[in-house]
């Protein structure tokens, strides 16, 4: 997951080779839809810290504190976060509790991970 994150942070380049077209990386990280309320105000949020959420091509866009970032999210708390302004990636993995009668537990853990990562991002100084 970290190598995939670095590939996207580096515009599709890995070890000096263009593996994914830079234009494709750029286009996928753009926001094409946003969560808005009935008054047309951008209102999307996730957890206590991810704000102004939008969506592109398999990547989400959000803000926490002074930082805007892209992220990919999977069930149970799998996250790949790209902080372009700080040249930083954040990756989390978690137990999604698949096949167990603990569906609520997976969402509780996922929310805790999103909150932890969002709080961390919000605490970072401006780059």
pLDDT (tens digit per residue) in 67-108: 999 999 887 788 999 999 999 999 999 876 666 665 666 677
20-71 tens-digit pLDDT: 999 999 999 998 887 655 445 455 656 678 888 888 888 999 999 999 999 9
> String of b and e for 73-101 (b: at least 16 CB within 10 Å)?
beebbbbbbbbbeeebbbbbebebbeeee
Domains of the chain: residue spans and CATH = 2-123 (3.40.710.10)
For the chain, the C-alpha Rg in angstroms (whole number) is: 15
pTM: 0.84
């Amino acid at each position: 997951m970290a190598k995939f994150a670095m590939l996207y942070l580096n515009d599709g380049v890995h070890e000096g080779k263009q593996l994914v077209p830079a234009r494709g990386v750029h286009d996928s990280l753009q926001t094409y839809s946003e969560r808005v309320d009935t008054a047309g105000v951008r209102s999307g949020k996730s957890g206590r810290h991810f704000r102004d959420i939008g969506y592109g091509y398999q990547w989400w866009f959000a803000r926490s504190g002074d930082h805007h970032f892209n992220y990919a999210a999977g069930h149970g708390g799998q996250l790949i976060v790209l902080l372009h302004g700080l040249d930083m990636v954040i990756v989390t993995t978690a137990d999604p509790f698949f096949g167990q009668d603990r569906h609520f537990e997976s969402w509780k853990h996922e929310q805790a991970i999103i909150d932890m990562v969002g709080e961390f991002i919000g605490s970072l100084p401006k780059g």
